[in-house]
Amino acid sequence: MSDVKTSIDQLVKANDVVLFMKGTKTMPQCGFSSRVAGVLNFMGVEYQDVNVLADADIRQGIKEYSDWPTIPQLYVKGEFVGGCDIVTEMTLSGELDQLFAAKGVGFDKDAADKIREANA
């Protein structure tokens, strides 16, 4: 399992934004993964998607790596942000915008505002 943890650690550190999800950014395989990928895609965020359904070791390993039991899991600049509920709340409150801005991650502010307007 240490090899898996090393692989996960390298992925998280090598990419500014990483989403461990069920499926891919273009074809999510569950509603929660679809929601987070949809937010990132709509906001124009460049991110690495990791399909946990393609590798059972990664699927289990990411839960242990983050000490978080569910997938999807979002990482920004090596830091675990959270799962679907947390990312949704952060998007609607504007905290996700603030995090991306503080970490130097490019995103479309107008798109983020549209998400909030549609959910107001």
Residue 84 is assigned to a ligand binding site? no
Q: For the segment 36-46, what is each residue's pLDDT rounded down to a tens digit?
A: 999 999 999 99
All structural domains of the chain, each given as residue ranges with its CATH number in brackets, are: 2-118 (3.40.30.10)
Cα dist from 24 to 31, 33, 60, 70, 117, whole Å: 12, 9, 17, 16, 27
- pTM over cut 0.85: yes
User: Is the per-residue pLDDT at 70 higher than 70?
Assistant: yes
C-alpha dihedral, 51 to 52 to 55 to 60, nearest 10°: 160
Predicted pLDDT of residue 120: 85
**What is the C-alpha separation between 86 and 46, in angstroms, rounded?**
19
pLDDT mean across residues, the chain: 96
